[in-house]
Amino acid sequence: MSIVKMKLATVHAGADQFQDVLKRCVSCAQFHPEPAAHLINDENGGKALQDENVYNEYLNQLKNIGHSVGFEMKAGPVSRSYEEAEIEAFIKEVNEQFALIADTHELMTLTDNDEIALEKVRSYGFEAMHECQYISFGMGRLPAESFKKLSLIEKKNFVVEELHKSGQYVWILYATSNTFVKEVRKCMESLFIEEIPIPRIDGKKILEQYKEKLTEVYSYCAYTSEIRKLYRYVVQVQDDYQLAGFVPEKSADQFVRLFDGLNVRVDLAEPETAPQLVPPTMLHNAWLFRPFEMFVEMYGLPNYHDLDPTPFVAVTFCLLFGIMFGDLGQGALL
């Protein structure tokens, strides 16, 4: 029933190592870094790193691209790194490709049944259908009664394929020669067809081509963006890059082992050695009082050097609310 004791940890690294230090700090939830502004003074002559996060802008651009074509961006494991110029060139490329898909989506408002029918037409190849020189294609949904009338037409200058049907409609694909295209379209209109435009490009096919790399680039940008957010905690003193923060006393050795294999130095000290820094307050209580930490956090955590009020809150909370309820069972329990 107390406030968790903290250690002040300062990591010293060279110019070629501090990026790796940041990568490992990102994965450590126990580390509470201090802003560089709190560590810079006249004695050390340190300076803060430029923390402009261009990767955050890349993330927003990639999210907008995905939203325009109905693809949800999700960050996964980072498989490789990308240069900024490489990312910008890729974003430009997919923007140009996906602009065509986005335009198609805006022109077409399709139901689930429309999508089922369109999926069957996709197997023929949208681009190939539009490139035909002597044959024209059309697609749409006919009322079920109108579909029955197609068999009664004596002179058929077209062929029809049934794609899908529901209780009220039948979705069809029809084809005719360019000679009879106007005549056939009038015939279909007389049967009350609701035309569904056949896309000129296969957006799904294009999306499949880029989906894997989109995820790779997005994952790298998300990961690198998190690292760039830590730049504001790094102090550069000549060739020494310092990152300071607080870790729970019990986790201090584990934090030091986090940098095994790197040519860095980790100094551990008591919080009192840096009076300008205020350690974070973490509560640690027995299982009986632990649920009442929520109320302490809600109204404001105490200072690191103060007492933990959780046990007092637990007792008074039960007593006061027991009195307010005036319930026989709760009263007897208390």
Q: pLDDT by residue (tens digit) across 137-165? A: 999 999 999 898 888 887 788 999 999 98
What does residue 45 show for φ and ψ, rounded to 5 degrees?
Answer: 60, 30
Q: Strand 135-143 relative to strand 194-195: parallel, antiparallel, unpaired? A: antiparallel
pTM of the shown model: 0.62
- Helix (H/G/I), strand (E/B), else coil: 280: coil
Rounded percentage of the chain residues whose pLDDT exceeds 90: 35
Q: Is the dihedral of CA 14, 17, 19, 20 positive or negative?
A: negative
Q: Which backbone phi and psi does 86 adopt, to 5 degrees?
A: -65, -40
Q: Is the pLDDT reported for residue 98 higher than 80?
A: no
CA dist., res. 321 & res. 333, Å (int):
13
Under the banding of pLDDT at 50, 70 and 90, the label for residue 14 is: very high
Tokens of 278: 């205020």
Alpha carbon separation from 96 to 82, 91, 100, 126, 165 (Å, rounded): 20, 9, 7, 19, 36
Surface-to-core class of residue 189, CB atoms within 10 Å of its CB (0-12 exposed, 13-18 middle, 19+ buried): exposed
Q: In one letter, which amino acid is 167?
A: G
The mean of the pLDDT values for the chain is 86
Dihedral (CA of 135, 138, 139, 143) sign: negative
* 100 — pLDDT class (breaks 50, 70, 90): low
Q: Kindly state the tokens that stand for 224.
A: 């690198």
Residue 229: both structure tokens together: 């957010």
pLDDT of residue 104: 55
- Supply the pLDDT for residue 325: 67
What residues have CB less than 8 Å from 281, skipping those under 6 apart? 3, 301, 302, 303, 304
Six-digit token pair at 157?
């200058």
Which of the four pLDDT bands, split at 50, 70 and 90, describes residue 101? Answer: low
User: pLDDT band at residue 106, thresholds of 50, 70 and 90?
Assistant: very low
Q: Give the pLDDT score at 96.
A: 82
Q: How does strand 240-248 pair with strand 234-237?
A: antiparallel
- Residue 245 clears pLDDT 80, i.e. is over it: yes
Report the pLDDT value the prediction gives residue 102, as an integer from 0 to 100: 57
CATH of 112-195, one of 2.130.10.30, 3.40.50.720, 3.30.70.2750, 3.10.20.30: 3.30.70.2750
Q: What is the pLDDT of residue 291?
A: 87
Phi and psi at residue 222, to the nearest 5°: -65, -45
| pLDDT the model gives residue 205 | 77
- Return all residues near 191 (Cβ < 8 A) that are at least 6 apart: 142, 143, 146, 147, 149, 150
Domain boundaries, the chain: 1-108+204-279, 112-195, 283-333
The per-residue pLDDT for 89 is 94
Q: Across residues 124-134, what is the average pLDDT?
A: 86
Average pLDDT of 166-192?
91
pLDDT at 103: 57
Residue 181 has pLDDT above 60, yes or no: yes
pLDDT tens digits, one per residue of 305-316: 888 888 888 888
3-state secondary structure string, 300-326?
CCCCCCCCCCHHHHHHHHHHHHHHHHC
Distance from C-alpha of 130 to C-alpha of 182, rounded to nearest angstrom: 17
